[in-house]
Every structure is written in structure tokens, then in C-alpha cells.
Structure 1
């Protein structure tokens, strides 16, 4: 088991280095200059003063050094927990800006991922047992899984926010309130959170329901199910085995879908002007601040890798066949 974990850690470490390197490279090939953009917002009109300020801030941000030095300095700062200084919100550290947005993104992502996976699996399992429910779940599931996150977010914001007025259509909380651990603020926070969460939950739900429904039907038609049925095993027992075996591909699917779900969360945040990483990335793009872009994408990369690593370990614990192969009990 520990050898397996060590091997996986090695693979994920290599993946992390490659992903972070690509994350460092992409913003530097984007058009625009973050220092010039910052000075343009300051309305500096004197060419000489602009040139002197540009030289100064290039030194502050370290963009005047050769690319290989910038890359080494980036890794040195990353190992210290220093992600640099924002050009858009100068002189605020990038790490502080990201830490303000991360709780909103995690508070949106984790409930949507976990609840849609749990509910979708159970709905798909029940659909495989009932023809009436199957005729309803299957077409609805296909429609939901083909629905773009952004389109559904726009539809919910318009129907339940603008027209219905049941929930706020934008923002993370009312600006009339001061963030605090009080019931008025928490309830206001939840009302702003509900529509972004609902849009992500509904889209993901359809895919998990279809996947589980198909896997249950496949397992119920497998040889071991027919053999148990011929032996007179209770139908409940056969379904229990089928459900347990069908869960294994769903766990793998959760790891595969994490990147898609996170990208959907970022788009959803933009639609609802939700103050998470999605809005932060959009503002960083608009202001040519690739220091924030690096930090935001770095968090996404780390989050996806950690989640996939945890799912890999859970898969080993859930599937006895994997543990047997790891101990050399199977050829």
C-alpha cells in the first residue's frame, strides 16, 4: 500500500512540475504588458516619467530579467509561499488576493460535486430498477448533461433572480452587510450562493445519473448476476452486488470529470458575478495581470491533483481486487 502511495506521489509530483511550468509560460506569451497596463490606469502622460516608472516597476515585478531567471525566481518564490505582487491591485500580494476568493469557490464547488455525485448515483440506480422512472430519467439526464453550465446559469439568473425575484442574481453577499459570523450575514450569503450552486448541481446530476443507470443495467446482465439468480439468491442481494460494482467506474469518472466541473464553476461565477476564482481570473485577464493568473491557475492545478490523488487512494480501499494485485496475490 505504501509503495503504491509513493509511486503515485512521484507521478503526481512530475505532473505538478509540468503543469506549473505550463502555467508559468502561458501568461508570458499573452499579448499586453502588465506594467504598462498599470501605468496607463495611473494616467501618466510624461514620456520620460513613464519610462522611468516602467523601468522601476519591471524591476519590482522581476520581468526585466531573462526568462530563465524569471522561471527560477518563480519556483524559489513558490517554495517560500510567495506568489508575487499584483499589478492590478498593486502593491497587494497575490496570495492574499487569492485567499479571499478561494473560500467562495470551494464553498460552491465542494457541495455541488459531492451532492450531485451522491444524488445522481442513487437516482440512476433507481432508474435502472423501474421502467417508468427510467423513461423519465434517461431523456432528462441526456438533456442536462448536454446543457452548458453558463447557459443554465443565465437561465436561472433570469428566471429566479430577475423575473421571479426569489434569489439575488449577482454578487456573493449584499454590500450593505459587513462580513461576520452572524445569522443575517450568513443567510444573505446563502441566498447569493444558491443559484450558482443550483446551476452546477443540476448539470452534473444528469451525467452521474446516466452513468450509474447504464452501469447497473450492465452489472445486472453480467454472468455473476445470472449465476446468482440461477442459484436462487434474493433479488435484493444481486442488486446490492451490482450497485457496489457499478460504483467503481463512477469513482473513476469523478476523477476524470474534476477538470470539467471546475471550469464550469469558474464560468458560473462569471455569470453571477460571484467573488470567487472565476471572477478573479476574468479581472486579471482584463487588466493583463498574469501574476494573479499564475496564482489562480496554480490553485486550480493543485486542487485537481490533490482531489485525484485522494480518489486514487479511495479506489484502492474500495476495490479489493486492486489490493490483491498490489500485494502480489494475483497475476
Structure 2
């Protein structure tokens, strides 16, 4: 078991190094100069003053050094827990800017991922044994899973927000309120959260329902199910075994889905102007804020790798065949 965990940690470490390196490279190969973009907002008309300020801030942010030196400095600062200073919100540290948006993104991701996975698997399992429900779940599931996050977010915003006027369509909470622990603010926070959450939940729900429905049907037609049926085992027992075996690919699919749903979260936040990491990425791109952009991508990479590692360990604990193979036994 520990050897398996060590091997997985080594693989994830290599993945982390490669992913972080790519994340560091992408902003620096983008067109535009973050310092000049920042100084352009100050409307400095004197060329000498502009040149002097540009040299000062390039030295401050370390942008006047060769790329290889910037890369080495990045890793040194990263191990010290320093992600640099945001160009867009100078002189605020990147870590403080990101921490202000992380609760909003996690508040969308965690409920959408877990609830869509649980509800989708249950609906898929019911659909596999009910023809009437299958005729409903299957087409609806195909429509939902093929729907882009951004499109369904726009649809929900228009129908439930603009036309019906039930939910607000932008922001994390009303600008007239001040963040505080009160029922008024909590209700307002949830009302702004609901539409972004619903758009992510619905798209993910269809995929899980279809996947579980297909896996249940496959398991019910497997040899062990026919053997148990020939022995006179109760149909409920056979379905229970089929459900447990069908859950294994769904657990693996959960790890793969994490990257997709995070991308969907970024698009959804942009549509609803939700103050999470997605909106922050758009702002950092518009302002060519290298340090903020690479800090956000670093957070996303770490989150996905940690979640995938946890799912790998859960898979070993859930599937006894994997534990037997790890201990050297026969499958």
C-alpha cells in the first residue's frame, strides 16, 4: 500500500513540475507588457518619466532579468510561499488577491461536483431498471451533457434572472449589503450563488446519469450476474453487486471530470460576473498580470492534483481486487 502511494506521489510530483512550468511560460509568451499596461492607466505624458517608471517597476517585478533567471527566481519564491505582487492590484500580494476569490469558487465547485455525482449515479441506476424512467433520463441526459457550461448559464440567467426575476444575474452579493454574519446577507449570498451552481450541476448531472445507466446494464449482463441468477439469488442482491461494480468506473471518471468542471466553473463565473477565480483570470488576462495569472493557475493545478490523488486512494480502498494485486496476490 505504501509503495503504491509513494509511486503515485512521484508521478504527481513530476506532473506538478511540468504543469507549473507550462503555467509559468504561457503568460510570458502572451503579447503585451504588464508594466506598460499598468502605467498607461496613470496617463503619464512625459516620455522620460514613463521610461523611468517602466525601468523601476520592471526591476521591482524582476521582468528586466533573462527568462531563465526569472524561472529560477519563480521556483525559489514558490518554495518560500511567495507568489509575488499583483500588477493589476499593486501593491497587494498575489496570495491575498487569490484568497479573496477562492471561497466563491470552492463554494461552486464542491457542491456541484459532489451533488451531481451522487444524484446522477442514483438516477442512472434507477433508469437502468425502469424502462419508463430510462426513456426520460437518457434523452435528457444526452442533452444536458452535450450542453456547454456557458450556454446553459446564459439560458438560466435570461429565463430565471431577467425574464422571471427570481434570482440575481451578477455578482456574489448585492452591492448595497456589507459582508456580515446575518440572515439577510446569507440569503442574498445564496440567491446570487444559485444560478451559477445550477448551471454547473445540470451539465455534470447528465453525464453521470448516462454513465451509470450504461454501466449498470453492462454489469447486469455480465457472467457473474447470470451465474447468480441461475443459482436463484434474489434480483435485489444481483443489482446491489452490479451497482458496486458500476461505481468503480464512475470513481475513475470523477477524477477525469475535475479538470472539465473547473474549466466550466471559470466560464460560468465570467457569465454571472461571479467574484471567483474565473472572473479573476479574465481580469488578469486583460491587465497582463503575469504573477496573478500564474498564481491562479498554480492553485488550480494543485487542487486538481490533490483531488485526483485522494480519488486514487479511495479507489484502492473501494476495490478489493486492487488491494490483492498490490499485495502480490492473484486477481
- TM-score, length basis structure 2: 0.99
What CA distance in whole angstroms lies between the structure 2 residues aligned with 1:152 and 1:288?
29
C-alpha separation between the residues in 1 aligned to 2:69 and 2:26?
Answer: 16
> How many residues were matched structurally?
331
Could you tell me which residue of structure 2 aligns to residue 267 of structure 1? 267
Using the TM superposition, give the Cα deviation of residue 176 of structure 1 relative to its aligned residue in structure 2, in angstroms: 1.1
Give the deviation of 1:183 after TM superposition. 1.3
What is the SS of the residue equivalent to 2:211? Answer: helix
Q: Distance in 2 between matches of 1:290 and 1:276?
A: 18
1:251 maps onto 2:251 in alignment:
yes
Whole-angstrom distance in 2 between the partners of 1:196 and 1:211: 24
1:198 matched to 2:198? yes
1:153-191 CA-to-partner distances (Å, cap 9, x unmatched) read 000000000111100011000111111122111111000
- Quick one: distance in 2 between partners of 1:231 and 1:29? 65
User: In structure 1, the residue corresponding to 2:32 is in which secondary structure?
Assistant: coil
Q: How does 1:304-323 map to 2 (within 5 A)?
A: 304-323=304-323
The alpha-carbon deviation at position 2 of structure 1 amounts to 1.0
TM-score, L = length of structure 1: 0.99
Match of 1:101 in 2: 101
**Which SS does the other structure have where 1:173 is aligned?**
coil
Per-residue deviation, 1:120: 0.1
Q: Secondary structure at the match of 2:175?
A: coil
Match status 1:2 vs 2:2 = yes
Correspondence for 1:74:
74
Hey, what does 2:117 align to over in structure 1? 117
| Matched residue, 1:130 | 130
Distance (whole Å) between structure 1 residues aligned to residue 95 and residue 137 of structure 2: 44
Structure 1 unmatched runs, 5+:
none
CA–CA separation in structure 1 for the residues paired with 2:12 and 2:53: 42
Q: How does 1:276-287 map to 2 (within 5 A)?
A: 276-287=276-287
* 1:34 corresponding residue in structure 2: 34
Q: SS state of the match for residue 137, structure 1?
A: helix
User: What's the CA shift string for 1:220-241, capped at 9, x where partnerless?
Assistant: 0000000000000000000000
CA distance in 2, matches of 1:70, 1:181: 43
**Structure 2 partner of 1:240:** 240
- Aligned partner of 1:61 in structure 2 is 61
Paired residues for 1:12-23 under 5 Å: 12-23=12-23
* Counterparts of 1:290 and 1:151, CA distance in 2: 29
User: After superposition, what is the alpha-carbon deviation per residue over 1:65-109, rounded to whole angstroms, capped at 9, x for unaligned?
Assistant: 111110011011111111101111111101100000000000000
Please tell me whether residue 301 in structure 1 is matched to residue 304 in structure 2. Answer: no
Counterparts in 2 of 1:37-52, with a 5 A limit? 37-52=37-52
Distance in 1 (alpha carbons) for counterparts of 2:146 and 2:21? 33
- How many Å separate the matches in 2 of 1:47 and 1:89? 24
- Root-mean-square deviation (CA, aligned residues, Å) is 0.6
Aligned to 1:88: 88
Instruction: Give the equivalent residue in structure 1 for 2:177.
Output: 177
